[in-house]
Structure 1
């Protein structure tokens, strides 16, 4: 087998512990077995944004699989705010909050806030990680000169990684593969992608799509959209997210028939991702006697707004059914998922996206209750018979969906499907290596697996 080398540009890489890291990590782990030796360009852990979750245990999965180059990243907005704090100090004027109408901005805030907002939006072109560009580009030049990769792979978001990849491609004349883990211009969670910033990002997305040699999307609807913008469907491919079988070694499912049924949501809840409609439907089922408080227990693993949940539930008995676990290492989260009966997915208003956690749910073989609208997530769940889909704007439908998924979890005739094998990291990496190999038709084909 003729071995080849790929430069992988990814802002998110271990010990970064966010969901977005696992797609690239799985690829890097499995590429050597498919004839590709990865060299990774990423960020120093001390230069991630404040509050970034880290898991040093993930670094062990990289040892022996790849050489990793880490650089600084200028966090411009954080630096600006820190500078402002030094000038203003921590003292609060004695008159603050006095004599001001409720809801009115504090005196002196208007000018600073206007400047801050303008700088914030400008600094987010293409995203707030743009401060990584000069450091990564400089290191990328050194890597390309010394290690001479055959191909460049860039994972986004952040979209800054695409710009780094394009600059290196132009100088070294290497094939570039860009991988969209999320939509860029059609992401409902990027509320700041408006006005001038949106116009510039629209141009940059088109520029990246037209100049990349291959484009990968993690859902078919997203691939179709990107192909239209790229002006070529031939270079656009779909490779879904997936799971790594090694993470599931030793995990055991919960004994059937154990009460209460445990409903588990894994992952952070933010923005439009709220448990409100699910919890409200749960309270109505209890109030109408269709469900007892002793029958179901709900737990949220990850960052959630506990105050919001408590305010929503109040003194209702459903409060005793809900537990907020908080952040835990991934292996512990997967163990808790296996020790559950139902997997809860909350993904509203995302027509083009499928959350990575769904593939972990698929591997766990738990029936899924998906709170989502029409789109890629609903299509995947229905195509593979993974569970029940509920619309957040349909209260009665939500109640029915909860009862349906409970019946599925209790059913002794539930069929264990093998569909999950198609989403295993090794199988997905074989697809990626196939895209890479397409640029080198004279090389021997790498093995499948």
Structure 2
């Protein structure tokens, strides 16, 4: 096998501990076995945004599989807001209060809010990680000159990674593969993608899609959308997210027939991701006698709004069924998932996206209760017979879905071995290496001998 080298551009890389890191990490771990030696370009740990979760233990998975180059990143928004705070902190109480009437807003508040909003939007084109661009470009040039990769792979978001990849592609005439872990222009969680910034980002997305040699999406609906923008479906591919089998060694499933049935949600709940419709349906099932209080236990693992849950269920008997575990290490969360009967997924209003946790649920072989609308998540669950889909806006349908998934969990149907190996990291990396091989074989340097 002729070995080839790929430059992997990824802002999120260990010790970064967010969900987005695992897709690239899994690829980097498995690419050497498929003939591609990765060289990673990422960010120094001290230059991530303030409050970024880091896990040094993840770095152990990289040892030996890749050379990693790290650079600085100018966090523009943080710097500007700190400067704003310094100026405001220097104002004396007397001067700050001159000309103000008790109970009115400070005169400068509107101005500073306008400055903050303008700076925030300016530093979010294409995203707030744009401060990585000059440092990454300089290091990328050095890598391409000295390590001579045959191909460039860029993972986004942040979308700044794509711009770095395109610049290096143009300068060194190397093929470029861009990987969309999320939608760029149709992401329901990017509330600041509006106005002028949205127009610029739409142009940049189209430019990236048309200049890249291959495009990867992690869901089929997203691939279809990107193919329309790229003007070519042939260069667009779907490679889903997945799981790493090494994380599941030694995990044992809960004995069947154990009472109560344990329903577990793993991951943070925020924004539109709320358990309201699920918990309200549980209370109605108990009130109407279709479900006993002692038949079910519900666990939420991760960041959740406990006050919201308490206000929702109050002193209702369902409150005795619900436990908010909080944040735990990933290996402990997986162990608790395996010691459950049903995996709960809450993913509304994301037609193009599938949460990464779904693939961990698939590996656990637990029937899944998915609270989601129409789209990629629903299609995957129904296509593979992974569980039951419920609409948060359909109360009766939610009740029926809960009872259906409970019946699955109690029967042999809930423990049927699913075809989960298709989503294992090694199998997915084989698909990625196939894309790399195809792009490389079609590249100018191959055609020119």
The structure-2 alpha-carbon separation of the partners of 1:102 and 1:170, relative to structure 1 and needing over 3 Å to count, comes to farther
Change (3 A) 1:325 1:93: farther
Choose 308-317 or 29-38, whichever is displaced more. Answer: 308-317
Give 1:93 shift.
5.2
Question: How has the CA–CA distance of structure 1 residues 443 and 31 changed in structure 2, closer, same or farther, with 3 Å as cutoff?
Answer: farther
Change (3 A) 1:102 1:429: farther
Cα distance, 1:313 vs structure 2: 2.2
What's the offset of the Cα at 1:262?
A: 1.2
Change (3 A) 1:445 1:380: farther
**Within 5 A, what are the aligned runs for 1:202-221?**
202-221=202-221
Counterpart-to-counterpart distance in 1, 2:275 and 2:342: 15
CA drift of 1:104 comes to 7.5
Residues 366, 415 of structure 2: 8 Å contact kept: no
Distance 1:254 1:95, change over 3 A: farther
- With over 3 angstroms needed to count, the CA separation of the structure-2 counterparts of 1:368 and 1:429, relative to structure 1, is same
Q: TM-score, normalised by structure 2?
A: 0.94
Alignment partners' CA distance in 2, 1:103 and 1:50: 33
Compute the displacement of 1:152 (Å). Answer: 0.3
Tell me if structure 2 keeps the 8 A contact 1:35–1:446: no
Q: Is the 8 A contact 1:34 1:448 kept in 2?
A: no
Moved more, 89-98 or 175-184: 89-98
Structure 1 residues 51 and 323, CA, compared in 2 at 3 Å: closer, same or farther?
farther
The answer for the alignment partner of 2:197 in structure 1 is 197
Q: Is the 8 A contact 2:214 2:439 kept in 1?
A: no
CA distance in 2, matches of 1:296, 1:123: 48
C-alpha displacement of 1:260? 1.6
Shift of 1:98: 14
Is the contact between residue 179 and residue 215 of structure 2 (CA under 8 Å) also seen in structure 1?
yes
Segments of structure 2 that go 5 or more residues without pairing to the other structure are none
Range moving further from structure 2, 256-265 or 91-100? 91-100
Tell me: CA distance 1:232–1:366, structure 2 relative to 1, closer, same or farther (3 Å). Answer: same
362-371 vs 271-280, which deviates more? 271-280
Deviation at 1:417, TM superposition (A): 2.9
Whether the 8 Å contact between 1:373 and 1:391 is mirrored in structure 2 is yes
Give me the whole-angstrom Cα distance separating, in 2, the residues matched to 1:141 and 1:2: 24
Check 1:190–1:61 CA distance in 2 against 1; reply closer, same or farther (3 A cut): same
1:215–1:102: structure 2 CA closer, same or farther, 3 Å change rule? farther
Structure (1 or 2) with the greater helix fraction: 2
- Report the counterpart of residue 308 of structure 1 in structure 2: 308
Aligned length, in residue pairs: 449
Do the aligned residues in 2 keep the contact of 1:2 with 1:443 (CA within 8 Å)? Answer: no
Residues 349-390 of structure 1: CA deviation (Å, up to 9, x unaligned): 111111111111001000000000001110110011100000
2:95 is paired with a residue of what secondary structure? coil
Q: After TM superposition, list the pairs within 5 Å mapping 1:383-394 onto structure 2.
A: 383-394=383-394
Alpha-carbon offset, residue 105 of structure 1: 5.1
Alpha-carbon separation, structure 2, partners of 1:17 and 1:157: 15
Preserved CA contact (<8 Å) 2:253 2:339: yes
What do residues 199-246 of structure 1 show as CA deviations (whole Å, max 9, x unaligned)? Answer: 000000000000000000011111111001000111000111111111
Q: 3-state SS of the aligned residue for 1:152?
A: strand
Distance 1:343 1:95, change over 3 A: farther
Contact 2:367 2:414 in 1 (8 A): no
The Cα shift of 1:160 comes to 0.6
Do residues 296 (structure 1) and 296 (structure 2) align?
Answer: yes
- Confirm or deny: 8 A CA contact 1:162 1:208 kept in the other structure: yes
Give, in whole Å, the separation in 2 of the partners of 1:190 and 1:418: 34
What do you get for the CA RMSD once the two structures are aligned?
Answer: 3.5
Give the deviation of 1:405 after TM superposition.
0.8
Counterpart-to-counterpart distance in 1, 2:97 and 2:284: 41
C-alpha distance after superposition, 1:2-44 (max 9, x if no partner): 1000000111111111111111011000000000000111111
Give the C-alpha shift of residue 331 in structure 1: 1.2
Contact 2:151/2:440 (<8 A) preserved: no
- The worse-fitting range, judged by mean Cα deviation, of 277-286 and 12-21 is 277-286
Residues 61/152 of structure 1: CA separation in 2 closer, same or farther (3 Å cut): same
| Contact 2:162-2:178 at 8 Å conserved across structures | yes
